[in-house]
Amino acid sequence: MLRGTEILFKGQVQGVGFRYKAKQISGRFDIAGTIENLPDGRVKLRMEGELSEIEGFFEALLEQTPGFVTDAERSGKPYRGEFTGFEIIG
């Protein structure tokens, strides 16, 4: 079942290549979405895919960016099919 999710990352997540690492890791998973810096210092990730792919990507991102993330606020979103790939925006 396809799902959507949004994750707001807090910590040392801007200016350290966090978004680029996410883009790199995304190629290993069947997900689509966007990742962007927010003015308040957080990073917003929006993605869609099978739950197992979303979870796998999330775990891989945390594992490969140790010490960057101090909090990750997740919220489920309805699947809309709005993404065609994985892009860095903003």
The CATH number of residue 56's host domain is 3.30.70.100
Between CA 18 and CA 65 the distance in angstroms is 7
Q: Is residue 22 part of a domain?
A: no
Instruction: Tell whether the torsion through CA atoms of 21, 88, 43 and 25 is positive or negative.
Output: negative
> Quick check: is 18 in a domain?
no
Q: Is residue 45 part of a domain?
A: yes
Specify if 43 maps to a domain: yes
Provide the number of structural domains found in the chain: 1
Among residues 11, 9, 6, the alpha carbon closest in space to that of 74 is found at: 6
14: in domain: no
Is residue 19 included in any domain, yes or no? no
Q: Which positions are catalytic?
A: 19, 37
Residue by residue, pLDDT tens for the chain (90 residues) are 899 999 999 999 999 999 999 999 999 999 999 999 999 999 999 999 999 999 999 999 999 999 999 999 999 999 999 999 999 997
Domain residues for 39? 2-6+27-89
Q: Is the pTM of this model over 0.85?
A: yes
